[in-house]
Amino acid sequence: MEHSTDTPLAWVESPLQLIAAAEWASTQERPILVAVRLGSAQMAMTAEELLARGARFAECVPFYGIPWQLLSRHRSWAVGDGFSGQFRLALSLLRPRGITLMDDGAHTVALADALLGRSDFGRPAGRESAIAMTLGRWARERMLRLARRERLVLFTAFALGEERLRALGQEGVRVIPHTLEWVRRTARPVDLPAGRVLLGSARPVDGLVAMHDYLAWVAAEARHGELTYLPHRRETNAMLSAVSEFPGVRVFDAGLPVELVLAGAIQPLEVISPPSSALTTLGHVLAGTGITVRSGTSAFPAPIQ
């Protein structure tokens, strides 16, 4: 289906970025077009769920790699991953009229600092090639040019701090905060197996935490009472099988991000999260519900050195 070149385009590569796109779409004058990167099953399920809840998506277009045709045709971009190498490349070759940077977890704070020149334009703690760093410098300069014309927006649920907000404003970057209002407003009821909820983590999959330490952490939480275990989308079947063997642990895999699942909780809950941006997003989604969200940081195993 053809859409006007004035239709805003959201470029998203993860379920959390899809949620951010739905929030951003709710603030726009017209429905937006969404370029959805193909990959995990959760991407497709999240897109279907958001549409079922009335997300103002004119169309979701699947893609691999870089959606060159869509980016070329639609000059107002909302980008889910501002540090993406593919975004840097696209920005070096194309000329959008305006860019909105949406949330990709807590990287939003690092992205703000990179725009301000306080750090290299690259993923925190990541090793990047000379070409990637060069593209990063070009991306920063081109976005700051847009900012000087009031065409660069940071749309975020994360706190940036007053000093950082002032600095961004001096560069012309407009910051629009949100608290996932649309997600809360469109929540659908869900009844969980147990009132204590443990959020899963992909850190063992990524090699950041030893598997036996992670499972020991889950077992320790289970000893305090029954648990609903909400898996991370990148956990393996072997991980979920091991977790489900612990007494009192019920794996509840809705195939959706935890923000969409827990927004519709119909019972009192205690939510326990490993170190994660979900501590912020769920803090917004569950505000005023009486549901508590606490960090498992003190008990969570330290990263592998």
Q: Is residue 302 part of a domain?
A: no
Distance from C-alpha of 24 to C-alpha of 8, rounded to nearest angstrom: 10
- Predicted confidence (pLDDT) per residue in 175-212, tens digit: 999 999 999 999 999 999 999 999 999 889 888 889 99
Per-residue pLDDT at 294: 86
Per-residue pLDDT at 201: 92
The DSSP element (H or E) to which 58 belongs, if any, is strand 57-63
* pLDDT higher than threshold 70 for residue 300: no
Same structural domain for residues 157 and 230? no
CATH for 82: 3.40.50
Same structural domain for residues 202 and 179? no
Q: How many CB atoms lie within 10 A of CB 145?
A: 12
DSSP H helical segments within the chain, as ranges?
15-25, 41-52, 68-73, 85-93, 107-115, 130-148, 162-171, 181-185, 211-222, 237-244, 258-262, 278-285
How much is the average pLDDT of 277-304? 79
Q: Is residue 301 part of a domain?
A: no
Same structural domain for residues 174 and 192? no
Same structural domain for residues 45 and 172? yes
Local confidence band at 1 (pLDDT 50, 70, 90 cut-offs): low
* pLDDT higher than threshold 70 for residue 171: yes
Same structural domain for residues 200 and 168? no
At residue 251, the 3 state secondary structure works out as strand
| Average pLDDT along the chain | 91
Strand order in 32-37's β-sheet? 57-63, 32-37, 9-12, 76-79, 98-101, 152-156, 174-177
Number of domains in the chain: 2
Q: Is residue 3 part of a domain?
A: no
Same structural domain for residues 132 and 264? no
Q: Is residue 300 part of a domain?
A: no
Q: Is residue 73 part of a domain?
A: yes
Distance from C-alpha of 279 to C-alpha of 72, rounded to nearest angstrom: 36
Strand order in 227-230's β-sheet? 249-251, 227-230, 196-199, 270-273, 292-295
Same structural domain for residues 273 and 172? no
Per-residue pLDDT at 153: 98
Same structural domain for residues 192 and 177? no
* pLDDT higher than threshold 60 for residue 304: no
- Predicted confidence (pLDDT) per residue in 106-146, tens digit: 789 999 999 999 999 988 776 788 899 999 999 999 999 99
- Cα distances (Å, whole numbers) of residue 17 to 119, 236, 289: 23, 22, 24
| Placement of tokens 């807590």 in the chain | 106
How much is the average pLDDT of 236-254? 94
Same structural domain for residues 221 and 151? no
CA of residue 219 relative to chain centroid, distance: 28
Boundary-marking domain end, from 169, 184, 199? 184
How much is the average pLDDT of 240-246? 95
Same structural domain for residues 209 and 235? yes
How much is the average pLDDT of 245-260? 95
How much is the average pLDDT of 238-260? 95
Q: Using the 8-state DSSP alphabet, how is residue 302 labeled?
A: P
Comparing C-alpha atoms, which of 230, 224, 215 is closest to residue 300?
A: 215
Q: Residues 13-30, buried b or exposed e (16+ Cβ, 10 A)? A: bbbbbbbbbbbbbbeeee
Distance from C-alpha of 51 to C-alpha of 31, rounded to nearest angstrom: 12
Residue % of the chain over a pLDDT of 70: 96
Residue 117 is encoded by which pair of tokens?
């020149």
Local confidence band at 88 (pLDDT 50, 70, 90 cut-offs): very high
Tell me the pTM: 0.92
Boundary-marking domain end, from 165, 184, 203? 184
Q: Is residue 75 part of a domain?
A: yes
Per-residue pLDDT at 296: 73
Boundary-marking domain end, from 150, 184, 218? 184
Per-residue pLDDT at 301: 54
* pLDDT higher than threshold 80 for residue 297: no
Residue 12 forms beta bridges with which residues? 36
What are the φ/ψ torsions at residue 113 (nearest 5 degrees)?
-65, -35
Range of the domain at 141: 9-184
How much is the average pLDDT of 221-234? 94
At residue 154, the 3 state secondary structure works out as strand
Q: Is residue 163 part of a domain?
A: yes
- Pick 39 or 14 by higher pLDDT: 14
Q: How many CB atoms lie within 10 A of CB 229?
A: 24
